């Protein structure tokens, strides 16, 4: 039981890490953390999982390029703005509605569904993060919370139900549009840092879905 709790904590930490990565521009301190020994060791550990080896290696390569990039923080901030704070025609905006709504409208059905998920689990979106509920960062944050809630259940039956909720959320609210989001990033992120991060996220979500279904 303790091993599963620890494993769930690691899963949640990865979702929360990616939530932070896609929620705001990285600071100089953030970038320094990405390049330090602890982060490098963590990423190297991920390469030991076969399905994560290639995307993690690609992300490590992007970090190496970032380390050698002049004015790295300013340039990466410009990448963030060009990709995520622009228009659907020129960027790869991180909102589920744009990929799932048949008219590509903002604040469509996926945003409404996310608001229901947040209300059901009484999880409030940060007031400082003034974005629609179907923003990638919000969805990843909720996934992390669903995982930790599973650890807090008192019985096997309740834990199983909580695991099923994770599976449903991951499949319907994240994996339903992440592949297309990653595809758009791969086309438009010329430097490649955010495209590499999103590809790693997608690979992790797909692996996690296998785990939740008992296939991993």
pLDDT in tens, 40-85: 999 999 999 999 999 999 999 999 999 999 999 999 999 999 999 9
User: 143 pLDDT exceeds 80?
Assistant: yes
Contacting residues for 44 by C-beta, under 8 A, at least 6 apart: 60
Dihedral angle, C-alpha 145, 148, 152, 157, nearest 10 °:
90
User: 151 pLDDT exceeds 70?
Assistant: yes
Give phi and psi for 135, each to the nearest 5.
Answer: -65, 140
By the 8 A CB rule, do 66 and 76 touch? Answer: yes
At 48, list the tokens: 């030991």
User: 118 pLDDT exceeds 80?
Assistant: yes
User: 215 pLDDT exceeds 90?
Assistant: no
Pick from 209, 206, 211, 161: which is nearest to 182 by CA? 206
Average pLDDT over residues 148-158: 91
Contacting residues for 125 by C-beta, under 8 A, at least 6 apart: 118, 133, 138
- Widest distance between CA atoms in the chain: 54
Contacting residues for 14 by C-beta, under 8 A, at least 6 apart: 204
Average pLDDT over residues 21-41: 96
Average pLDDT over residues 188-209: 98
- Mean pLDDT of all residues belonging to the chain: 95
Domains of the chain and any CATH numbers: 2-212 (1.10.3480.10)
């Amino acid at each position: 039981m303790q091993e599963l709790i620890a494993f769930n904590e690691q899963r949640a930490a990865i979702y929360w890490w990616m939530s932070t990565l896609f929620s705001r521009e990285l600071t100089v301190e953030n970038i320094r953390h990405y390049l330090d020994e602890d982060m490098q060791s963590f990423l190297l550990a991920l390469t030991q999982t076969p399905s994560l080896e290639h995307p993690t290696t690609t992300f490590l390569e992007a970090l190496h390029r970032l380390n050698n990039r002049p004015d790295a923080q300013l340039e990466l901030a410009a990448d963030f703005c060009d990709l995520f704070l622009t228009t659907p025609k020129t960027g790869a905006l991180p909102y589920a509605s744009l990929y799932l709504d048949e008219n590509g409208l903002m604040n469509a059905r996926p945003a409404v569904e996310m608001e229901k998920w947040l209300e059901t689990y009484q999880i409030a979106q940060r007031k400082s993060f003034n974005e629609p509920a179907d923003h990638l960062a919000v969805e990843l944050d909720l996934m992390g919370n669903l995982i930790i809630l599973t650890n807090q259940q008192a019985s096997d039956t309740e834990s199983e139900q909580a695991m099923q909720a994770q599976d449903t959320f991951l499949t319907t609210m994240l994996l339903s549009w992440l592949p297309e989001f990653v595809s758009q990033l791969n086309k438009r992120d010329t430097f490649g840092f955010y495209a590499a991060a999103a590809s790693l996220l997608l690979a992790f979500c797909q692996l996690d879905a296998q785990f939740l279904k008992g296939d991993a």
